[in-house]
């Protein structure tokens, strides 16, 4: 059995894991944990690096810590975390240390102040490499021991976010959300018709995608994204198999030469979310105005995709707003979706209430008033 430790936005984490490993049997899930069965450690490790919403991955072990320690030549450095139950970690650590001592094993636990360790500490202490990060789950009095086999490289993330020349005010699409959307799409080739700075396509290249296509209404954005995407590939020594970009109003997506000439299997895009709104200028009137102008794009986009019989995946996000601590959803867009699209399921039937009633996932970021509602769609035939 394999246990995935989830991020705070656990619904997005679960959707992503199930998209990457669709064939596996779910044993249990909660807002912290997803446990899957019928898969091997090797399979997990092969795909783990494309999971961006998983904190760490553990496999269940049948042995006790002391058995592991007996095979260690050096001082046995280990770490225990406890999940689910408020069992006394101090007592567990002291007892374990005593047992190890009785077995003539010199050891040291790393837990400071008898607390669970952070990802940063686990990485720093190289506990995954030494295979000595232990996680206990108690189901009543039965103890299950899990060993960490993979951990998210949080350092490469913060570096990526820092390096990007992007302005937070514009509500830039976070790389992690791009990656989740890419994972949901089952991509091979990706087209972003609202490309802006090219964030989605750059993240897809980092996920080993070698064919990228894009368009935007704004000439400057077509140029900027071209520079960003091609420079990124060059500086990272990645040779793209194919790419193409055009200036295009997405309302007339049926005229896209890219869709006509290339085999695109996924449209993944953060749509134009409308104007940036701040606490000072947000109002119901302004939101309604935004909705109106956005609907005129969305409406034509889907109609024209239907007109060209686009059969493949569409993973997109629409905006919704927070006004006076209330959420204003873009319900008018649901009508368009229902007219032209089927909403694809993101979870098996027994995963109750993980999506909204509309079948979407929500992504909110603190201090922003325009948020994102993510859908996976297919055009109705």
Ligand X SMILES: C[S@@+](CC[C@H](N)C(=O)[O-])C[C@H]1O[C@@H](n2cnc3c(N)ncnc32)[C@H](O)[C@@H]1O
Contacting residues toward ligand X, per CB under 6 A: 173, 192-197, 199-200, 216-218, 221, 249-251, 269-270, 272-273, 297
Sign for the pseudo-dihedral over CA of 50, 268, 195, 210: positive
Nearer to ligand X, 197 or 267 (CB): 197
We find the least distance from the C-beta atom of residue 351 to ligand X, in angstroms, to be 28
Do residues 369 and 333 make contact, with C-beta atoms less than 8 angstroms apart? no
Cβ atoms of 319 and 370 closer than 8 Å: yes
CB of 167 vs ligand X, minimal distance in Å? 11
Tell me how long the chain is: 381
133 versus 216: smaller Cβ distance to ligand X: 216
What's the min distance (Å) between Cβ of 36 and ligand X?
31
Helix (H), strand (E) counts: the chain:
12, 17
How wide is the angle at C-alpha 53 spanned by C-alphas 373 and 207, nearest 5°?
A: 95
Q: How far is the CB of 192 from ligand X (least distance, A)?
A: 6
Is the C-alpha dihedral spanning 184, 185, 186, 190 positive or negative?
Answer: negative
DSSP code at position 132: -
Q: How far is CA 160 from CA 94, 165, 225, 239, in A?
A: 40, 10, 17, 20
Min dist CB 254 to ligand X, Å, is: 13
Nearest distance from C-beta of residue 223 to ligand X, angstroms: 11
Nearer to ligand X, 17 or 181 (CB): 181
Q: Tokens 């077509």 label which residue? A: 222
Tokens of 173: 């699409």
Evaluate whether 268 touches 187 at the Cβ level (below 8 Å): yes
Of 9 and 216, nearer to ligand X (C-beta) is 216
Q: Which helix (H) or strand (E) covers residue 95, if one does?
A: helix 89-102
- Nearest residue (CB) to ligand X, 171 versus 211: 171
Report the nearest approach of ligand X to the CB of residue 200 (Å).
Answer: 5
Query: Of 72 and 249, which has the nearer Cβ to ligand X?
Result: 249
Pick between residue 132 and residue 266 the one whose CB is nearest to ligand X. Answer: 266
């Amino acid at each position: 059995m394999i246990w995935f430790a989830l991020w705070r936005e656990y619904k997005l984490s679960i959707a992503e894991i199930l998209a990457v490993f669709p064939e596996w049997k779910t044993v249990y899930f909660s807002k912290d944990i997803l446990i899957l069965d019928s898969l091997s450690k090797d399979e997990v490790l092969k795909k783990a690096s494309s999971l961006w919403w998983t904190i760490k991955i553990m496999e269940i072990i049948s042995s006790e810590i002391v058995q592991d320690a007996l095979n260690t030549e050096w001082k046995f450095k280990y770490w225990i975390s406890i999940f689910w139950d408020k069992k006394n970690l101090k007592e567990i650590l002291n007892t374990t240390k005593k047992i190890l001592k009785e077995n003539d094993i010199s050891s040291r636990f790393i837990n400071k102040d008898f607390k669970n360790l952070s990802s940063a500490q686990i990485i720093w202490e190289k506990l995954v490499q030494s295979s000595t990060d232990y996680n206990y789950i108690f189901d009543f009095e039965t103890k299950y021991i899990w060993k960490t086999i993979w951990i998210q490289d949080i350092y490469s993330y913060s570096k990526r976010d820092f390096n990007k020349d992007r302005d937070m005010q514009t509500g830039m699409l976070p790389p992690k959300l791009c990656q989740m959307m890419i994972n949901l799409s089952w991509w091979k080739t990706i087209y972003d018709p609202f490309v802006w700075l090219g964030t989605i396509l750059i993240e897809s290249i980092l996920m080993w995608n070698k064919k990228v296509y894009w368009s935007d209404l704004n000439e400057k954005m077509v140029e900027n994204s071209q520079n960003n995407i091609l420079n990124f590939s060059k500086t990272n020594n990645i040779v793209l198999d194919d790419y193409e970009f055009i200036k295009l109003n997405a309302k007339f997506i049926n005229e896209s030469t890219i869709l006509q000439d290339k085999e695109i299997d996924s449209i993944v895009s953060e749509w134009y979310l409308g104007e940036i709104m701040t606490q000072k200028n947000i109002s119901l009137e302004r939101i309604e105005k935004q909705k109106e102008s956005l609907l005129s794009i969305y409406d034509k986009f889907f109609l024209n995709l239907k007109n060209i019989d686009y059969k493949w995946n569409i993973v997109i996000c629409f905006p919704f707003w927070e006004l006076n601590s209330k959420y204003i959803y873009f319900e008018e867009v649901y009508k368009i979706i229902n007219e032209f699209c089927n909403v694809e399921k993101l979870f098996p039937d027994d995963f109750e209430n993980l999506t909204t009633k509309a079948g979407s996932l929500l992504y909110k970021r603190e201090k922003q008033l325009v948020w994102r509602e993510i859908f996976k769609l297919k055009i109705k035939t």
